[in-house]
Each structure stands twice: as C-alpha cells, then as structure tokens.
Chain A
Amino acid sequence: MTEVKLAGESFLTDDFLRQLIDVGEVDILVGVATHNNAKTIGSIVETIQAGILTYFPRERAVIVNADGGSRDGTPDLVVSAAIGDARSPSKLYALRTLHSISAQYASSPARGTALRTILAAAELLRARACAVISPESTQITTDWLPAVLRPIYSEEFDLVLPTYRRHRFEGILLSNLLYPMTRALYGLRIREPYALDFAFAGRLGSRFLAQNAWHDETARAGSETQFTLAAIAGGYRICQSFLGNKEHVERRSADLVPAMRQTAGALFASLEPNFSLWNSRTGSQPIPTAGAEPEFTLEPLRVNRKRLREMFSIGVAELESVFQSILCPSTLAELQRIAQLEESRFRYSAELWVKTVYEFAAAYHKSVISRDHIIQALVPLFRGRVFTFLVENRNGSAKDVEDNVETLCLEFERLKPYLLEIWNGRE
C-alpha cells in the first residue's frame, strides 16, 4: 500500500506543487540544482533551452530548478528561460510552450534534497526522460541533451552517464577510487559513477525516489553515487555518452572531505545492502558507450605536489590511532614506511592503495569507529596516492595515463577476494 504523505510532511512546497500542476505531464525534464550560481546559470539554461528546441522540438519539456536558497537571483535566471505565449526570446522557433520553474527546497544547499526535489517533479510530471545538469557545467553545448536523452528516449536505456575528455589530473578521486572500485565490485566499467551531468528514465527515478535512503545523512550527501548504484543493483540498463571536454574546476583543499563523503562514503555505504550482488561478481564488462571514447588531455597544469606529500605524511603520523582501528598492521606499517621516504623516492603503489581502500571499506562496514571519521581519515591517504599518480603520469602520453588507470582497475579487480576475506574478519 502506498504511503500517503500529509501536506505537512511533504518536502514539496505548495508553490512548487502549483507550478507542477501548471506544467502537466511532460516527455522531458531537465533538472538543475543551484545555489548562488548566477555567474554561470544564465548561459547554461540558455544552452539547455536551445538543446530542447533544436533536438526535441515536439516534446513536452520543462526545466526544473531546485534551489538551495540563492541570494544572487539564480532562480530568476532559470525561470527566464521559459517560452510561453509571447514571442520566444530564443532565436530558435518554439513549437510549443517550454516551462522553466524553480523551487527553493531549503535555505541552505543540500545536494541530496535537490536531487530528491527533481526526482519528485519527474515522478509527478510522469516525465519519460530526465536529465540533470550541473550549474557549473559551463562547457555544456546543445548537443549534450540529445547525447544523454536519446539513449533513454529512443533506445530504452534507464541511466545514461557521461564520459568526458578530461585533463589527466582532473578527477583523480574518480580515476583512482570511484571508477576502479565500482568496476571491480559491481562488474561494470562505468567511467563516471559519480556524475553531476546524467540522465535517467522516469521509471528509475521513481524507484530511487521511493527508497527510504533520504532520511540517511550519508545517502543524502552522496545521492548521485547512490543513484548509479541503485541502477546497477536494480539491473537497470546503463550506458555512457561522450559529452566532450570537462572543464577543470579549481577546488580548495577543504573541498576534498565533502567530496570524499559524497563519493567514497556513498560507495562504502552501498556495499552492505548490495553484498549479495557484488560479492559474486568477478571481472568487469564494458557498457555501451555512445560517441567518442573518454580520453585525457595533457596541457600543463600547476599542482602543488609537495603539499600533497606533506599532508600525507602528517596525516599518517597524526591519525595513527585511527588507522590502527581501520587498517591491517601490515598495511599501516607500509604506509608509515613510505611516509618517511624522501619525495623523490615516495611511491604509493597501486597494490598498497587498493589494499588501503578495501580495508577502509571493510572498516566502514563494521563501523569500527564513526563512519564519518573513517571517511575523513581516508583523505590524507588519498593525497598521498594523488602525489604518486601525478608523478607517474607527468610525462606520459594520453594513452600512458589511460593504461595506468587500467592497471589500477585490474589491481582492484585482482584484490577483490582480499576485500571479501576481510569483509567480516581480519587478515
């Protein structure tokens, strides 16, 4: 029996609900979660609008903005993309009305709630195909929409994840942890399991919306990753689509902790409920990919390697008691040994890194300490791994980088039995 939500319990405001009523059933929904993105959102929404008008002119479409309390006029910029009775502001001809609506879901941003708002809109509007676009994706082109939506619309896929042409040093968390570990455990070579630009079928969105994970803080934080994992666990059809260049975004050092929560934290959290799914899978399979293969670009990029190495060593020293709860003695000993090495000799090998990650995953599963502390403790170790990755790939070709990532993936796959061994016991 479907749980009936009283109006007072709903996270959807009356105003948003009213807007949804006015929109009615749609074929395509494009969701954008924002918080003070006035600098970028205007051109992004304009491109989304052009994509809809160019590639889906006959479809009933809506742009849904879930805003976390912007104070810079971001929602107004999104709403201005609507095309109604008056002459279209776009140079492109609009066959039908294009709605662009906005809802403030909270007074402060929460990614999971933003996604939940978009999913709710998709369900209420019975959207057949939905895309989520990041408000920071300034490299978006009109071709993005057909790239992510057509596999759903025309080929009945349920989830379309992006692939990009990335800088070799962009997305190292992805290439050194998320991608290889998801691939090794779940058996699918999903290049970007944590994606901020993706598309999904309405049926998948409804399934994910119905999950009770919204009350879990971790799940709300890593909802994009959870979304991908839910699709894998549910046996949904997944594919990838090439979207072109991924713009390099400067991140502050402090951003790594929340990023780790949203990615590794979500991934670790998924292992327990999906144990029966991943424990029996061996190896990995490619998934259908449209467009070009992902590749790395090699232009110069300044990175403070020395700082990374220092933070690793400091972390190993200061968090020794924490690591004793999480890691096997041999792994910890090895980490302490390399922490003493000079920079020129420092190397955080693939095998050691994989063992580290798996031991953290097992510790997370057993909640040896607070799970959030476990995630935070991984950060300095990851910095050490980043240092090695930067060094190993600084002079390599794009193929060399790709090969190194592939080697790491195979290492994750090779050591999967190790994870299974320590999952409920210790080495």
Chain B
Amino acid sequence: MAFKQDVPWYKDAIIYQAHVRTFSDSNGDGIGDFGGLAQKLDYVEQLGINTIWLMPFFPSPLRDDGYDIADHYSVHSSYGTLEDFRTFLGSAHERQIRVIIEMVLNHTSDQHPWFQLSRSSQENPRRDWYVWSDTDTRYPDAGINFLDTELSNWAWDPVSKSYYWHRFFSHQPDLNYDNPAVREEMWNVMKFWLEVGVDGFRLDAVPFLVEREGTNCENLPETHAILKELRRKLDEQFPGKMLLAEANQWPADLRPYFADGDEFHMAFHFPLMPRMFLGVKLEDRKPITEILQQTPAIPPSCQWCLFLRNHDELTLEMVTDIERDYMNDKYAHDKTMRLNRGIRRRLAPLLDNDRRRIELMNGMLMSLPGTPIIYYGDEIGMGDNINLGDRNGVRTPMQWNGGWNGGFSVTDPEKLYAPLIQDPVYGYPAVNVFSQRRTEHSLLNWTGRLIAVRKTTSVFGSGSIEFLYPANHRILAYVRQLGDETILVVNNLSNAAQAVELDLRRYKGNILIEMFGKNIFPRVGEIPYLLTLGPYHFYWFRLRRI
C-alpha cells in the first residue's frame, strides 16, 4: 500500500508510542504480541493516529525491556515472528498508519553474539566492536546516566579480564563506532528493517556513540559525522523514511542533530517537556516561554517531537537544580517515585487525575510547534505502579475493558508479564477503553476529538509560532501561522478563572472562530482583546477575515 507522499509526512504525524509487549496478547501466554497489536489497529486508527512508534521487539534477555538487543535481525519469540511483524506492518499501512521502530545504535546486550565473541579473546575479529580498556580511568568526564544503579561507566569483564565501556546498564556494553565494521553493520541492520518496510527509526541514545578523552563523550563531532553518513545512505536508498533522534540535551546541543537538514529529520524536545509540568504547577508560563525562546531555529524540513510522558522516567536532566527540586517536591514527594534523575509516573497520576489539567497538557502538546506523541494508555488516563521497580510501573498491560485481565489477555492473571493496575481509581475496571468508548465525554473520546481538530490544519505541524506576552503570567498565548492560516491558542495554566487582555492589533478585523465548537467570537479591534478562561481551560481560535 503506497502512502500519499506528502513530504515531509512526519510534520503532520500524530505518533502513538506503543510496546508490543504491553498492548494486547493474542496467543494467551500473558505477553503482548504482534498478533494482538494488529488486532488493535482499528482502535489506533479511530483515535486518529497516523504513526506508531514501536519500542524494541528484538530478541533480548529483557533486562532493560528490550533496549538490550541480542539479535538485531529478528523478533523476540514472545512477540511473534518476523512474519507476524510483516503482517502487522502491512495492516498498519493499509490503514495509512506508518510505523517507526526503535533502533538502539549505542549498545547491545552483553548476550549479543557480537559481545560474546568480542570478550572471548583479544585476538577475536570482533574484539574491536566494543570499547575495551585495561583500566577504568579513561573518559573520566563522562557522566553516569543510570545513577541509581551504576557506579561507573566501566564494567569489569571476568572473561576478558579487562574493562568495557557502558553508558547505560552494565549489561549493555557500548559499541565501538570508531570501528568502520561496526558502522557498516549497524547500517545493514537499519537497511534490513527498511527493506521489511518500516517507515523510520527512533535512534536511541545517539549522543553517546563516540568517546574521546578530555570530553564528556556526548554530542561529539565524530558522532554527528556518523549520523550524517547514516542519513545520507537513508536518503539515497530509502527516500521518504524518517530518523528521530533520542538525545536528552539542552536545545543548543540538540540543534546540531538537525545539521543543515541532513542529519536527523526529528528530535525530541526533552527540555520542554518537564517545563510544561513545571508551568502548570507554578501556574506560570515562564518556564515554557523561556525554554522555547532558547530553542534555536531548525531547518525547514526538520521537526521537533513533543511528548508528555513515555516509557522512561519523566526526565529532569535538562532542568536547573532549583527546578528539579521543585518538580520532585511537587510531583514525587514520595521518593520511591523518583528514579535516576526523573520521576517514574504516568500522566494521569502526575496530574492528580485532574481531567482539566490532563486536557490542558494535551492541548499544549497538540498546539505547540512540533509533532506530538501520545504514550499508550495516556489517552484513557491509565495509572502506574511504582512498586514494579525500574520503569516497569509505567509499562503495565493496556486496559481494554473491565473484565478478565482488563481484556489484555485470556491467560491466568498470575501469568501476565506484569500485573494490571488494580486500584479503585486507575484500575482496569474503572479506566478502560470499552467503558470510555461508551461515554461521549470520556477522556478517550475527547482525545480523539482533539486529534481530529488538530488534523484539520497543517498549521500546528508546520506553522510558525509567535508568543504573545500578556501581563497575566498565568496565561500562555501564542499565534501559529502557515501561509494564510492563523490560529490563536490561549491556555490558562492556573487553577482559577482568569481574565486576560491580548494585544491582537496586528490581526485587527479578524473574527475569532473557536475551533472545537466553531462558534464565532467578537472581531479583533484596536483595544486589547479581553478573554476570560475557566480553570485550566484553553482556546484554539482560527482567525478569519471576512
């Protein structure tokens, strides 16, 4: 099935992040699989999603939920076969849903045959596929990412009697990208999946590919050179496919990942995400406007990727110490909610299950410049279980109905890969797709309407943004423009009703048309435009001159 080739398609994408393991189990073994995922494509399509991002599904010892890959060319047996994947992919494409998959470039599982060979002896041809050292003192300026579990970026290998480099878990040795063979093989991996038919990759942990003494081993020029080479090959051999960078960096350090439009197509805007939560809690737009002011312009063909939550902890790497302390105090007062430098909670619990705040955050997600990603389950307001350890509490089975195993699997509940959320507030009898489909104004249906309205225009995906700075700091207001189309977005970040006067003189003569109800609001004149908003309310107005 050929897609309509609107390039760049990723600018109008609405991405749904899903893990095959957590979504739906079709064979009754308690683990989600591609058969189940394929069966739920109607659901995804009805929601309005046009792109699915799949978390790793490769063979793996699953010590990091699949980000520890042991075989790049296959599918984990728990999830199905390569053929099952192809079937799923075909079904998705039939529905005009693109699929991007995870590709972990930086490291593999220590169970990967490459590493097993590399460690076996210093003379093995794969020896240089990883980064080895006789001491653990090299690259001392590199920070430790998984602070809660790792004490060093070096791990001692008793087989090889030497140290190997790992920027993540110690069972995830880093590949050596100074080795051309590694670079060539990783391209072969990508090429394999592109030939299967995937539409792009989320490249995991890309800042860490190359190490150099005297640096923090992140975002090095050599790393960018490697990524550009991958992009060159991609454009040459698979035009129209997309690369999404996972680089948890400050905006200025993220900019190079776009280069001149010849490196990544998209990158996650990590610094913006915690500031959205910060802004709502402070009831102050300052954190949001400040970070977006610091965000550099990117090439016209490139795009930011926006998200509220994902499979990882809500990272607080890219905030100041004061902001981090505040976020921890307000959103993770219970310290068991904190992991590494983040908070391992889902969207709804973070926002106290406040429907208004959930809507506001989603409204901003869909209207700020970038491509939005919805994390599976957040569209129904799923809860979390921090007692499951690591980040597993936000990766519980999808809740389809209030019945047996929440509709996720027919197996015995004890055999599920992870227990369902069961508390009276977020548990599957209370929060599930089936009951929300029956309720016109459920969060699920509201999210569907939100996506539908967003898709009525390309302004949100491709348009410019100009912030208005009304004196009322509780109001975040901005104008999005693309060609002749102008949209005004006004968000009340506060728990109380607000009045705001907006300077819209530049748009004098335009009638404001509220985009959800399509009602008209007064015409813009010379005097400041007065709006009042309820708690956490937001408006999207189309400006129309008739």
**Residues of A near any B CB (own CB < 8 A):** 18-19, 21-22, 24-25, 57-58, 60, 83-87, 93-97, 99
Can you report 15 residue pairs joining A to B where beta carbons are below 8 Å apart? A18-B471, A19-B471, A24-B474, A58-B326, A60-B283, A84-B473, A85-B289, A85-B467, A85-B469, A85-B473, A86-B293, A95-B326, A97-B284, A97-B286, A97-B473
By secondary structure, the A interface counts as loop
**Is the Cβ of A87 less than 8 Å from the Cβ of B472?**
no
**Is the Cβ of A22 less than 8 Å from the Cβ of B293?**
no
**Is the Cβ of A85 less than 8 Å from the Cβ of B496?**
no
**Is the Cβ of A84 less than 8 Å from the Cβ of B282?**
no
**Residues of B near any A CB (own CB < 8 A):** 282-287, 289-290, 293, 320, 322-323, 326, 467, 469-474, 494, 496, 498-499, 501
Q: How far is the CB of B55 from chain A (nearest CB, A)?
A: 34
With A96-B286, A97-B284 as known contacts, state yes or no: A84 contacts B472, CB within 8 Å.
no
With A84-B473, A85-B290 as known contacts, state yes or no: A21 contacts B499, CB within 8 Å.
yes
With A22-B470, A22-B473, A24-B494 as known contacts, state yes or no: A96 contacts B284, CB within 8 Å.
yes
Q: How far is the CB of B237 from chain A (nearest CB, A)?
A: 44
**Is the Cβ of B323 less than 8 Å from the Cβ of A25?**
no
**Is the Cβ of B499 less than 8 Å from the Cβ of A85?**
no
6 A-B pairs closest in CB distance: A22-B471, A97-B473, A85-B289, A96-B284, A22-B472, A96-B282
Residues of A within 8 A of B284 (CB): 60, 96-97
In the complex, what distance in Å separates the CA atom of A94 from the CA atom of B501?
25
Q: How far is the CB of A114 from chain B (nearest CB, A)?
A: 23
Residues of A within 8 A of B473 (CB): 22, 24, 84-85, 96-97, 99
List 19 other contacts, CB 8 Å, given A21-B472, A85-B289, A96-B287. Answer: A18-B501, A22-B471, A24-B474, A24-B494, A24-B498, A25-B496, A60-B284, A83-B286, A84-B286, A85-B285, A85-B286, A85-B293, A85-B467, A85-B469, A85-B473, A87-B290, A93-B320, A96-B284, A96-B286
Residues of A within 8 A of B285 (CB): 85, 97
Name the contact of B286 in the complex, choosing from A24, A57, A58, A94 (C-beta under 8 A): A94
Q: How far is the CB of A53 from chain B (nearest CB, A)?
A: 10
Residues of A within 8 A of B467 (CB): 85
Closest-by-CB residue of A relative to B473 is A97
Residues of A within 8 A of B471 (CB): 18-19, 22
Closest-by-CB residue of A relative to B329 is A58
In the complex, what distance in Å separates the CA atom of A60 from the CA atom of B320?
19
Residues of B within 8 A of A87 (CB): 290, 293
Residues of B within 8 A of A93 (CB): 320, 322
Closest-by-CB residue of A relative to B469 is A85
Residues of B within 8 A of A22 (CB): 470-473
Q: How far is the CB of A180 from chain B (nearest CB, A)?
A: 46
In the complex, what distance in Å separates the CA atom of A18 from the CA atom of B527?
14
In the complex, what distance in Å separates the CA atom of A86 from the CA atom of B293?
8
Q: How far is the CB of A17 from chain B (nearest CB, A)?
A: 11
Closest-by-CB residue of A relative to B476 is A85
In the complex, what distance in Å separates the CA atom of A57 from the CA atom of B282?
11
Closest-by-CB residue of A relative to B279 is A96
Q: How far is the CB of B540 from chain A (nearest CB, A)?
A: 21
In the complex, what distance in Å separates the CA atom of A119 from the CA atom of B489?
36
With A19-B471, A21-B472 as known contacts, state yes or no: A95 contacts B289, CB within 8 Å.
no
Residues of B within 8 A of A58 (CB): 326
Residues of B within 8 A of A18 (CB): 471, 501
In the complex, what distance in Å separates the CA atom of A18 from the CA atom of B530?
12
Residues of B within 8 A of A21 (CB): 472, 499
Residues of B within 8 A of A19 (CB): 471
**Is the Cβ of B469 less than 8 Å from the Cβ of A84?**
yes
